[in-house]
Amino acid sequence: MNDTTTSYVQWFRQSSPYINAHRDKTVVIMFDGDALLHDNFTRIVQDIALLNSLDVRMVLVHGARPQIDAVLERLDITSQFHDGLRITDAEALRAVKAAVGMVKADIESLLSVGIPGTAMHGSRIRVVSGNFVTAKPLGVIDGVDYQHTGEVRRIDHQAITHLLDQYNVVLLSCSGYSPSGEMFNLSLEDVAYHAAVSLRADKVIAFGPDDGLYTPEGDPLKELTCRQLEARMSDFTDETDLLQASMAVRCVRQGVPRVHLISYQTDGALLQELYTREGKGTLVSQEAYDQLRPAGIDDVAGILELLAPLEEQGILVRRSRELLETEIHRFHVIERDGLITACAALYPYSSDMAELACVAVHTSYRGTNRGQRLLEQIEEEARRRNINKLFVLTTRTAHWFIEHGFVAAQISELPPEKQKMYNYQRNSKVFFKSL
Ligand SMILES: CC(C)(COP(=O)(O)OP(=O)(O)OC[C@H]1O[C@@H](n2cnc3c(N)ncnc32)[C@H](O)[C@@H]1OP(=O)(O)O)[C@@H](O)C(=O)NCCC(=O)NCCS
């Protein structure tokens, strides 16, 4: 295999857990009118088609602000705004109807393309739109009558769920109807929020002009909890950032597990965000995503707490605080919201051999691949140091190691220093794994 093929094969293998994880999940994808005007939008539609073929259940929500502005300009109508919201009078409503109708038709036609060589070829996507959004007027605020500017009253989630069950992609616009038959101009974020919450969506993906949110110093914010994002709210000055950040907070507070903010300008951002570990934007979630990282001196107390019950049961050899402090650089930990939930250590013995030690997962977090993730991390680190053989000593966990590629070996195969320290009373079994 040449280099390109190898990296392609590796990428495909690495993305397979994500393909399984996202299958049959409900995702609300929102994009504003500017995204639609961008050259990259055609490729975004192709990526949406790819997601559809990977059985992701999708509800698309579109905005149309620049398109509405263009129609108003053509009709020579000046729109009034108050607090950043358009006051939709009867004339402006005509423009809203025309623009929203055009945008909807454009999206539907883009999703119907079947160009060979793209994800669209042979994919037959069925897009369904309809009167799924019930709206009510925003009314009079601070003496200002917003007229046909409205807010979402409810979403017909049962009808949408039924359509998703039948493998349709559902398209919602930034408009809705009241039971009295009036049409209302709605904010994109409001429709996306209500759709996600009422459908109990697994994710919201919001396309904006940037690769997610940034600190005032210009550093990307890759992952944030809802609480962390709320604390940063005053950092955002850009209108889109503010709208998206508050929408993300509202969604997560109401039970949507994850909101991803990505750029409509970056080719492949949607695929990178969903199918790679690093992602390509900002992820806002209910609680901190598990962090696997090298341990530092501040983790000693957390590791001691994790190990204590296992040492008491004789599963692990006792380690003093002093010893752990001097050896902390050998450890990796998984942390969740400040709690050390798992750890493992790598002790090199010779230029090509090292011990995998102290693999431990908190009892409440077992069976969720933390052990495996740590093992993979330690193996990666060992390979980086040109170590090609790992060994482990265990009394009670032999089968877990066997299931992860370790093979039983003799004490005499251990490095001489380790043989000298071998505790015959403990009678641990020895396992090796070639890397
Ligand atoms: C072994 C250990 C690290 C695995 O962590 P984990 O996060 O639960 O592991 P994973 O989620 O990656 O794998 C879970 C699988 O391993 C199995 N497993 C866990 N402990 C096992 C053991 N002692 N023997 C055999 N299989 C075991 C589980 O049954 C589960 O399998 P299943 O999904 O088929 O039911 C964890 O159980 C632990 O901390 N044990 C106590 C400490 C220890 O024994 N450390 C090793 C000595 S160095």
- Contact yes or no for 335/341 (Cβ under 8 A): yes
Instruction: Indicate the Cα dihedral angle 135, 136, 142, 143, nearest 10°.
Output: 120
Q: Give the chain's domains with CATH numbers.
A: 3-285 (3.40.1160.10), 291-434 (3.40.630.30)
What mean pLDDT is predicted for residues 96-123? 82
No. of helices (H) and no. of strands (E), the chain: 15, 23
For residue 261, what are the CA distances in angstroms to 115, 205, 278?
29, 6, 14
Task: Answer yes or no: is pLDDT of 133 > 90.
Answer: yes
Residue 35 has a CB neighbour count (10 Å cut-off) of 20
CA of 354 to the centre of ligand 1 (A): 21
- Contact yes or no for 226/249 (Cβ under 8 A): yes
Residue 50 CA to residue 172 CA, distance in Å, equals 20
CA of 376 to the centre of ligand 1 (A): 14
**Residue of the CA atom closest to atom 30 of ligand 1:** 367
Task: Answer yes or no: is pLDDT of 427 > 70.
Answer: yes
Q: Which atom of ligand 1 is nearest to the CA of 392?
A: 48
> Ligand 1 pocket: which residues have CB below 6 Å?
310, 315, 359-361, 366-372, 392, 394, 396-397, 399-400
**Residue of the CA atom closest to atom 46 of ligand 1:** 359
**pLDDT score at 16:** 78
pLDDT band at 116 (very low <50, low <70, confident <90, very high): low
Reading the block at residue 195, the tokens are 């759709």
Q: Which atom of ligand 1 is nearest to the CA of 395?
A: 47
Comparison of pLDDT for 5 and 242, the residue scoring more: 242
Mutate to test the pocket of ligand 1, among 336, 366, 374 (most ligand atoms within 8 A of CB): 366
Angle at 183 between CA 182 and CA 185, to 5 degrees: 145
Residue 332 CA to residue 295 CA, distance in Å, equals 5
Question: In the sheet that 203-208 helps form, which strands lie side by side, from edge to edge?
Answer: 127-128, 169-172, 57-62, 26-31, 203-208, 258-263, 282-285, 223-225
The angle that helices 90-110 and 41-53 make with each other, rounded to 10 degrees, is 60
CA of 356 to the centre of ligand 1 (A): 15
What contacts 356, CB < 8 A, 6 or more positions away? 344, 345, 346, 375, 378, 390, 391, 392
**Residue of the CA atom closest to atom 33 of ligand 1:** 367
For residue 98, what are the CA distances in angstroms to 133, 155, 172, 183?
18, 23, 16, 12
Closest CA to 166 of 133, 138, 127, 137: 127
pLDDT band at 337 (very low <50, low <70, confident <90, very high): low
Closest CA to 138 of 129, 149, 128: 149
Q: Which atom of ligand 1 is nearest to the CA of 365?
A: 7
In this predicted model, what pLDDT tens digit does every residue of 154-200 receive, in sequence order? 999 999 999 999 999 999 999 999 998 999 999 999 999 999 999 99
- Phi, psi for residue 27 in degrees, rounded to 5: -125, 130
Mutate to test the pocket of ligand 1, among 332, 347, 400, 403 (most ligand atoms within 8 A of CB): 400
- DSSP secondary structure letter of residue 291: E
Q: Which atom of ligand 1 is nearest to the CA of 367?
A: 11
pLDDT band at 324 (very low <50, low <70, confident <90, very high): very high
CA of 158 to the centre of ligand 1 (A): 41
- Contact yes or no for 25/57 (Cβ under 8 A): yes
Summary mean pLDDT of the chain: 91
CA of 392 to the centre of ligand 1 (A): 14
pLDDT band at 119 (very low <50, low <70, confident <90, very high): low
- Contact yes or no for 257/28 (Cβ under 8 A): no
pLDDT band at 360 (very low <50, low <70, confident <90, very high): very high
315 residue type, one letter: I
Angle at 362 between CA 358 and CA 365, to 5 degrees: 130
Burial class (CB in 10 A: 0-12, 13-18, 19+), 415: middle
Comparison of pLDDT for 29 and 138, the residue scoring more: 29
**Residue of the CA atom closest to atom 32 of ligand 1:** 367
The least confident of 3-7, 74-78, 208-212 is 3-7
First to last CA, the chain: 20
CA of 22 to the centre of ligand 1 (A): 25
Task: Answer yes or no: is pLDDT of 151 > 90.
Answer: yes
For residue 350, what are the CA distances in angstroms to 4, 358, 423?
34, 19, 21
Reading the block at residue 205, the tokens are 């993906």
CA of 372 to the centre of ligand 1 (A): 9
CA of 423 to the centre of ligand 1 (A): 23
Q: Which atom of ligand 1 is nearest to the CA of 316?
A: 47
**pLDDT score at 1:** 62
CA of 370 to the centre of ligand 1 (A): 9
**Residue of the CA atom closest to atom 35 of ligand 1:** 367
Element spanning 29, H or E: strand 26-31
**Residue of the CA atom closest to atom 44 of ligand 1:** 397
**pLDDT score at 307:** 95
Reading the block at residue 151, the tokens are 């807010």
**Residue of the CA atom closest to atom 43 of ligand 1:** 360
CA of 371 to the centre of ligand 1 (A): 7
CA of 367 to the centre of ligand 1 (A): 7
pLDDT band at 118 (very low <50, low <70, confident <90, very high): low
CA of 65 to the centre of ligand 1 (A): 54
